[in-house]
């Protein structure tokens, strides 16, 4: 789907955020970008979204650069418009491209149903819990049926129970629809649970320290499976080595 070759990003103040990132994101993959704060993983996500341009290197798309609405982006905060209902927040990506008719309304209803908020369409963000707001944010990213879903530590601010539930729902959604997802996180457990492939990044400048494919089987025991524990152990080792280097 997307090819990054020798991508670097240097900021105006001279900080090198990313250096020599080369990887391929395949269709249907769930890739976790894992690393400590300041390793440039959010910057890498913004480059993938086209919100910023690389200083050098190239990002190539298999079927041409994405058109508006073809990339869904979920931020660390829900970033909803507080004056608009859940429904209107989710409609936004369609509305911006001129779709507000019955078909768009049906798409919004379907997106809200996907995240389990079909009964809260008319609720304003102030009436929703943190977890529900994040679900609205995910529905907004899904409503335009993007070919790539980019998520920047979306569950970091949620409590453990809500986080687990949302992780499980996201994993199920991705398995069902085969959506391509790139997910930034600083949690080893989150990366191991969610991803089919984990890119471990090292800081200053941000580089890819390891590329680990997950073999953990899906199922209700995913969080306690021996494969999962082994994967967490492997990632921890790689991350420790990357930090020491």
Partner 1 sequence: MNKTVERIAPFLFGVLALGLWQGAVWGLQVPNYVLPGPVAIVQAYAGDYAVLNSALVSTLTVTLAALAASAALGVLLALAMAASTLVRAAIQPWAVILQVTPVVAIAPLIIIWVNQPFMALVVCATVVAFFPVLSNTAAGLAATPADLLDLFRLNGATRLQTLFLLRLPAALPYFLAGLRISGTLALVGAVVAEFVAGSGGFASGLAFRILEAGYRLEIPRMFAALMLLAFAGVAIYTALGLLSHLMLRRRDN
Binding-site ranges for partner 1 (CB under 8 A): 49-51, 67-69, 71, 73, 75, 77, 79, 81-83, 92-93, 95-97, 124, 126-127, 144
Q: Which is nearer to partner 1, 126 or 224 (CB)?
A: 126
CA atoms within 13 A on the CB side of 37: 1
Query: From the CB of 51, what's the least distance to partner 1, in Å?
Result: 5
Query: From the CB of 159, what's the least distance to partner 1, in Å?
Result: 21
Q: SS3 string of the chain?
A: CEEEEEEEEECCCCCEEEEEEEEEECCCCEEEEECCCCCCHHHHHHHHHCCCCCCEEEEEECCCCCCCCCEEEECCCCCCCCCCCHHHHHHHHHHCCCCCCHHHHHHHHHHHHHCCCHHHCCCCHHHCCHHHHHHHHHHHHHCCCCCEEEEECCCCCCCHHHHHHHHHHHHHHHHHHCCEEEEEECCHHHHHHHCCEEEEEECCCEEEEEEEECCCCCCCCCCCCHHHHHHHHHHHHHHHHHHHC
Q: Which is nearer to partner 1, 35 or 93 (CB)?
A: 93
Q: Which is nearer to partner 1, 6 or 97 (CB)?
A: 97
Query: From the CB of 81, what's the least distance to partner 1, in Å?
Result: 7
For residue 170, the tally of other CB atoms under 10 A from its CB is 24
Query: From the CB of 112, what's the least distance to partner 1, in Å?
Result: 18
Query: From the CB of 121, what's the least distance to partner 1, in Å?
Result: 16
46 and 53 Cβ atoms separated by less than 8 Å: no
Q: Which is nearer to partner 1, 144 or 174 (CB)?
A: 144
Q: Which is nearer to partner 1, 20 or 77 (CB)?
A: 77
Query: From the CB of 70, what's the least distance to partner 1, in Å?
Result: 9
Q: Which is nearer to partner 1, 64 or 68 (CB)?
A: 68
């Amino acid at each position: 789907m997307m090819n990054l070759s020798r991508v670097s990003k240097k900021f105006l103040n001279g900080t090198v955020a990313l250096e020599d990132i080369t990887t391929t994101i395949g269709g249907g993959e769930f890739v976790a970008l894992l690393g400590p704060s300041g390793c440039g993983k959010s910057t890498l996500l913004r480059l993938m979204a086209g919100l910023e341009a690389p200083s050098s290197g190239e990002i190539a798309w298999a079927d041409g650069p994405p058109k508006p609405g073809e990339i869904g982006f979920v931020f660390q905060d829900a970033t909803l418009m507080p004056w608009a209902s859940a429904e209107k927040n989710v409609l936004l990506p369609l509305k911006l491209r001129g779709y507000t008719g019955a078909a768009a309304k049906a798409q919004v209803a379907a997106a809200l149903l996907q995240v389990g908020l079909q009964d809260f369409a008319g609720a304003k963000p102030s009436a929703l819990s943190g977890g529900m707001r994040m679900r609205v944010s995910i529905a907004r990213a899904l409503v335009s049926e993007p070919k790539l879903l980019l998520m920047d530590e979306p569950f970091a601010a949620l409590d453990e129970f809500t986080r687990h539930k949302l992780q499980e729902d996201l994993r199920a959604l991705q398995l069902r629809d085969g959506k391509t997802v790139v997910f930034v996180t600083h949690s080893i457990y989150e990366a191991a649970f969610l991803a089919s492939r984990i890119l471990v990044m090292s800081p200053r400048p941000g580089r890819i320290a390891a590329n680990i494919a997950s073999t953990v089987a899906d199922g209700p025991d995913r969080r306690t499976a021996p494969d999962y524990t082994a994967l967490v152990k492997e990632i921890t080792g790689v991350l420790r080595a990357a930090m020491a280097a």
